[in-house]
Amino acid sequence: MTRHRVVVLALDDVLPLDLGIPLQIFGRDDPDSYEVTTCSPGGVPVSAAGGISIAVSRGLEALESADTVIVPGYGTRSWRIDTETVAALVAAHRRGARMVSICSGTFALAQTGILDGLRVTTHWARAAELAEHFPRIDVEPKALFVDEGQVLTSAGVAAGIDLCLYIIRLDLGATVANRVARRIVAAPRREGEQAQFIEYSPVTEGGDPLAATREWMLQRLDEPMTVSHMAAHARLSLRGFSRHFAQQTGTAPLRWLHGQRVELAKELLESSALPIEEVASRVGLGSAANFRAHFKRSTSLAPQQYRRQFSRAAPSLQD
C-alpha cells in the first residue's frame, strides 16, 4: 500500500502544541500507513514539537503531493494569510486532498473559499469572529469537530486530538485508532457533535445546582450582567443566590464573573490580533480603560504585554 501523505502546514514559526498533535498522532507507530511532513510558506524552518523528530521543513510545494493537509492553530499576530498560501491550499483542495484544520487553523481555510456553504467549527472564543468575517460559512460553535467529507474542522487543541483520532479510525479502523489513542493517553473517542464547552468546565460533582447558571453566564460574557440577573436565572432571592454561589465556587458572584471575563480576554489576546478595545467589549468589560484596569489587577500585566509574551516562541514541550 502506498503511504498516505499527511502534510502539516505551519503558519507560525513555532506552535508546539497544535503542530505537535498531528505529528504525534499520524507520525509514529504506523510507518506503513502515513508519511508525515511539515511545511511552511517560504520553507521557513519550523521547530519540531512534542518530542517528535520528523519535522522536515519544506515550502508550499509540499502541498502539491499531499493526500491530507492539516492546518493547526496559528495567528497570534493576524489570521490573514498571503495569496500564495491561499492558492496552494485551493489547488490541494481541487486536486482532492483532504483538508483538516485545528483550532484557529480554520481561519486559514476560510480565506480560501473552500469552506463556503459548509458546516465548520473553530475555537469557541473565536466562532463569532469567524462567522462575522465569513458569512457564507456555517459556523457550528458547539461542536468538537465537524466532518464535511473532504473538509474536517475542529475546535480547540483538545478537539484536534479527537479529530485526528477520528480520521485514523476512518482510514485504518478502530483498532489502530484505539492503539494510537492509548499511546498518547487520549480518550479513544469523543463525538464531534458533543457540546464544546465540556472541555472547559471542571467536572461537576453532584450537588452543584448553580452549574447551569454559571454556564449561562459564560455564554453571555459580552453582555451586561448583574447579580440580580443571575439570581433571576437561578430562580433564587438575591441573598440566597449569593450564599449558594459562594458555597459552591468559593467566591462571590461578581468576583467570579470578573475572573471569567479576564480568562476569556487572555484567550482572545493569545489567539487573535483583535484590538484591545474590541477584546474589552467582547469580554463585557466595556471601555478599554476599564478593561486594562481589570486585566492588570488580576494578571499584573497590561493586555499588550500579555499578548507580546504569548506571541513569542513558546518553550518546546517534551512528552
Partner DNA sequence: AGATTAGGCCGCCATT
Partner DNA sequence: ACAATGGCGGCCTAAT
Name residues contacting DNA, limited to 178-237 (CB under 7 A): 226-228, 236-237
Q: Which stretch binds DNA (CB under 7 A): 3-11, 123-131, 172-180, 247-255?
A: 247-255
Q: Which stretch binds DNA (CB under 7 A): 109-117, 138-146, 195-203, 245-253?
A: 245-253
290 part of the interface to DNA, by CB under 7 A:
yes
Closer by beta carbon to DNA, 187 or else 289: 289
The whole-angstrom separation of Cα 134 and Cα 264 is 22
Distances (CA, A) of 148 to 101, 119, 129, 138, 281: 12, 7, 21, 11, 33
> What is the DSSP code string of 183-246?
HTT--S---TTS-GGGGTSPPPPSS-TTHHHHHHHHTTTTS---HHHHHHHHT--HHHHHHHHH
| SS3 call for 4 | strand
**Contact residue for DNA among 3, 77, 182, 255 (CB under 7 A):** 255
273 part of the interface to DNA, by CB under 7 A:
no
| SS3 call for 106 | helix
**Contact residue for DNA among 93, 126, 214, 294 (CB under 7 A):** 294
286 part of the interface to DNA, by CB under 7 A:
yes
70 part of the interface to DNA, by CB under 7 A:
no
258 part of the interface to DNA, by CB under 7 A:
yes
Burial class (CB in 10 A: 0-12, 13-18, 19+), 91: middle
- Residue 303 CB, nearest distance to DNA (Å)? 14
293 part of the interface to DNA, by CB under 7 A:
yes
- Residue 113 CB, nearest distance to DNA (Å)? 39
- Residue 231 CB, nearest distance to DNA (Å)? 9
Angle at 312 between CA 55 and CA 268, to 5 degrees: 105
Angle at 87 between CA 145 and CA 55, to 5 degrees: 65
Question: What residue ranges bind DNA (CB under 7 A)?
Answer: 226-228, 236-240, 242-244, 246, 252-255, 258, 285-287, 289-290, 293-294
